[in-house]
Amino acid sequence: MAISTRAEPKIGRSKSLLHRLFNQESITAYIFIFPSLVGFFAFIVLPMIRGIQISFTKWNLMRPPKFIGLENYKDAFTDPVFWNALKVTLEYVVLNIPLQTLIALFMAVMMDRVTKSEIVRGIFILPYLLSNVIVAMIWLWLLDPNLGFLNLLLQQFGIHKQAFFFSTTQGIPTIAAVNIWRHMGINALLFYAGIQGIPKTLYEAATIDGAGEWGMFRRITLPLLRPVTVFVLVTNVVGSFQVFDTISVTTGGGPIDATRVIVFYIVQNAFELTKFGYAAAMSVILFSILIVITLLQMRVLRGNSSDLSS
Amino acid sequence: MTELEINNLVKRFGEVEAVKGVNLKVKAGSLVALLGPSGCGKTTTLRMIAGLEQPSKGDILFNGSSVLAIPPEKRNIGMVFQRYVLFPHMSVEKNVSFGLRMQGMDKAEINRRVAEVMKIVQLEGFEKRFPSQLSGGQQQRVAIARTVVTNPQLMLMDEPLSNLDAKLREEMRSFITDLQKRLGITTLFVTHDQIEAIELADQIGVMFKGELVQFGTPEDIFNRPINPKVADFMGATNLISGHLKSKTRLETEVGSLDLAQQPSQVEGSKVIATIRPEHIDLNTETKGPNQFKALIKEAVYYGGIVSYKVQSGLLSLNVKDRSTRRFKVGEEVMLELAKEHLWVFPEN
């Protein structure tokens, strides 16, 4: 009997796709996710589309928006303050992410190997329960150059007062340190939860094969935490690029643009200079950068697979 | 080659005593099976030998030296777990070479040893695959390869075949026996499967509720169980109550039964006799001792063997018949209990 090698008709294929999208089971699913979909469209998709629209206009709220094509984008690419803001943001991300991730990982391993106390876990998560603004204000006081507790302590050890937030060189590292303090606990809990998902028998097998603590961490814990690591890195990188509250409460972008991160610059352009079109264009550029970084991370770290699921 | 000795080993988990004073000696180069039902303490015993659990009391010796103070990674043992426990993120090659890499061995030597072991376990060509791409039997062989590649002084196996299908289990039993004999590694094998224990082991230790109740060759355990519990666990599921009329005669509800063995109990004492289902003959044509009538209550065909449940008065017995005869439910048959396979124990 001859075997047909004719390709499937396209009509048959799209009918199958249509059927899959609109069969009874799918419709039931849509009904369940409808409330979330409404929120998603109302607060994410529509504003995003509107933002992209505005980015092609010149608009200061006083007059109707005027279409100017790609002018805002050209201005951004030739704006030294924009590039400086990106550079400052990148500096912040490079300081924040590796340290925060490593500290969180260390805390998680300690929670698993040294103490499984719920009180300890509760204490770790406390900073995260405070709002960014409160945290920033607390640290603004603690690190005050004249009256701050930390400077008083440093002086006891013969160390000169430090400017911390108000130094061009210490500003971003200080902000990074504050955000590490706030986020390390929650990330530690995520890693801890991931470690609980690793079968203990794998560690027993590794122990019998001669692995010490470091060997087990490097060859068992770290590789099998990959899905959690991807989640933590992706969400934290995106969040770090969008840092704003801490800057707004503490340094206001200074001194001399040393802490003027990209989102702060966007907000300044939108709400202080009423250059909504320009602010929207910078937002679109930032969004594009974040998409590329996220996709790269997912690809390099194989974010869509887990060794434990097999 | 290493001799393993366990002296008065005890393990408590809170109020529960999971292992109660186990004494055991495993000769160098031999394979001993720890056999018993779930929860009898055999895996706990194995884990204490591996160093994964600390004994509450007692000692564990390798070649006469205590290993209690030695951590698991320094005991030079290999362990095959029930669910293989292969590292899912490592290839077969990396799994097998893991122990050698932990020892800091030279790369060339690692490659040589891995290649050698992959040949022994018949998995050449599978080096780059991952555990998820292997069948159950292949995963088990990788687990065994990972265990033997480090030349351990002792190999521990915790029910390694329980997750395999019947046919594969049979193949793996031969594989393990051949491998163990070839490499001569002292091996302790935990199982709840009496057939497995009998086929694999040089000696069997039977455990119940944390105690080692009998230790001996497979033939000893199979044919001369020390008490009804061991007999029942080893498949001698027929228990007949009676009292000893003499050293060679037992009075039961189905009549007098001749005994070949000499029971240690005194005449007149209450006893329980056990006999394996396959040692009861059905519908004998010649008259002889130990015969009585019974009714077929149930007949199940197992492919080559028919398993019958028969009733004689209040006594219910299991019979396994390999002949081509077929008896129907409700049919009356004549049973004969082979006297050389009747074992007598005190009733308590």
Domain of residue B196, CATH code: 3.40.50.300
Query: Best mutation site among B83, B86, B102, B114 for testing chain A: the one with the most A CBs within 10 Å?
Result: B102
Closest of B52, B57, B20, B13 to residue B36, by C-alpha: B20
Interface of A with B in 219-248 (CB under 8 A): 219-220, 223-224, 226
Min Cα distance B98 → chain A (Å) is 7
Do B183 and B75 belong to one domain?
Answer: yes
Give residue B167's domain range.
4-228
Do B188 and B248 belong to one domain?
Answer: no
Q: Which residues does chain B have within 8 Å of residue A205's beta carbon, measured at their own beta carbons?
A: 79, 81, 85, 87
Do B222 and B299 belong to one domain?
Answer: no
| Listed range (A6-20, A123-137, A162-176, B235-249) with the worst mean pLDDT | A6-20
Do B109 and B167 belong to one domain?
Answer: yes
Do B272 and B335 belong to one domain?
Answer: yes
Position A276 confidence tier, pLDDT thresholds 50, 70, 90: very high
Q: What is the pLDDT of residue A14?
A: 55
Q: What is the pLDDT of residue B287?
A: 80
Min Cα distance A168 → chain B (Å) is 45
Residue of B nearest to A204 (CA): B52
The arrangement of secondary structure in A79-304, i.e. its CATH architecture, is Orthogonal Bundle (1.10)
- The complex's ipTM works out to 0.82
Residue B100, CA distances (Å) to A172, A207, B117, B227 in order: 46, 13, 12, 46
In percent, the amount of chain B with pLDDT more than 90 equals: 58
Do B186 and B279 belong to one domain?
Answer: no
Contact B85 A204 (CB under 8 A): yes
Do B224 and B98 belong to one domain?
Answer: yes
**Crossing angle of the two packed helices A132-142 and A149-156, in degrees rounded to 10:** 30
**Does the beta carbon of B79 lie under 8 angstroms from any beta carbon of chain A?**
yes
Do B296 and B320 belong to one domain?
Answer: yes
Region B2-18: mean pLDDT is: 94
In percent, the amount of chain B with pLDDT more than 70 equals: 99
Q: Which residues does chain B have within 8 Å of residue A198's beta carbon, measured at their own beta carbons?
A: none
Instruction: Compute the distance between CA of residue B262 and CA of residue B247 in angstroms, rounded to an integer.
Output: 6
Do B123 and B240 belong to one domain?
Answer: no
Write down which residue in B228, B255, B277 finishes a domain.
B228
Contact A209 B52 (CB under 8 A): no
Min Cα distance B71 → chain A (Å) is 9
Q: Which pTM was predicted?
A: 0.80
Do B337 and B274 belong to one domain?
Answer: yes
Do B218 and B247 belong to one domain?
Answer: no
Do B224 and B310 belong to one domain?
Answer: no
Contact B88 A204 (CB under 8 A): no
Among A208, A226, A307, beta carbon nearest to B72: A208
Region B251-258: mean pLDDT is: 90
Q: Mean pLDDT of all residues in chain B?
A: 90
Q: Between A and B, how many residue pairs show a Cβ–Cβ distance under 8 A?
A: 64
Among A205, A219, A310, beta carbon nearest to B81: A205
| Listed range (A95-99, B8-12, B274-278) with the worst mean pLDDT | B274-278
Asked whether residue B199 carries a pLDDT value surpassing 70, the answer given is: yes
Position A131 confidence tier, pLDDT thresholds 50, 70, 90: very high
**Does the beta carbon of A54 lie under 8 angstroms from any beta carbon of chain B?**
no
Domain of residue B327, CATH code: 2.40.50.140
